[in-house]
């Protein structure tokens, strides 16, 4: 929890939202869901930062929060790239598996047709 000498920077709702976002990343939720939740969270935090004081925090604390938000954005971008790679690999594996199944079925069909033609010819 982020704190200053005068109190908490994030309210309880914002802290819970951060936990939810972290859990979404950890469990591999779709990037679009995470990004939407993240944008909503940032909007809430930034609206609080626009106020003169955040629960008694000083202007130094506002700078600290902005830096913290920037570091979270960088981490989320890195996680987005990793999740996108994982999703791409899964799609490629499923595509490859589908082509393999299709290829096996076509080969079986071809072998069956060939067998029928050979029996007719003999």
**pTM above 0.85?**
no
Decide if pLDDT at 90 tops 70.
Answer: yes
Interatomic CA distance for residues 72 and 48, integer angstroms: 17
- Could you tell me the pLDDT band of residue 2, with boundaries at 50, 70 and 90? very low
Query: 39 to each of 8, 47, 102, 111, 119, how far by Cα in Å?
Result: 21, 12, 42, 56, 68
Q: How many CB atoms neighbour CB 21 within 10 A?
A: 20
Q: Which residue do the tokens 């996108």 mark?
A: 84
Q: CB within 8 A of 10, min separation 6: which ones?
A: 1, 2, 18, 45, 65
Confidence (pLDDT) at 4 = 42
Tokens of 32: 């679009």
């Amino acid at each position: 929890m982020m704190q200053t000498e005068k109190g908490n920077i994030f309210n309880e709702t914002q802290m819970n939202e951060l936990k939810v976002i972290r859990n979404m990343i950890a469990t591999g939720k779709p990037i679009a869901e995470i990004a939407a939740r993240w944008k909503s969270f940032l909007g809430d935090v930034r609206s609080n930062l626009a106020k003169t004081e955040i629960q008694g925090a000083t202007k130094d604390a506002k700078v600290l929060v902005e830096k913290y938000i920037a570091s979270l954005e960088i981490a989320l971008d890195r996680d987005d790239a990793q999740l996108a790679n994982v999703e791409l690999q899964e799609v490629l594996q499923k595509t490859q598996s589908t082509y393999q199944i299709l290829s096996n079925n076509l080969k079986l069909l071809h072998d069956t047709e060939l067998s029928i033609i050979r029996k007719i010819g003999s």
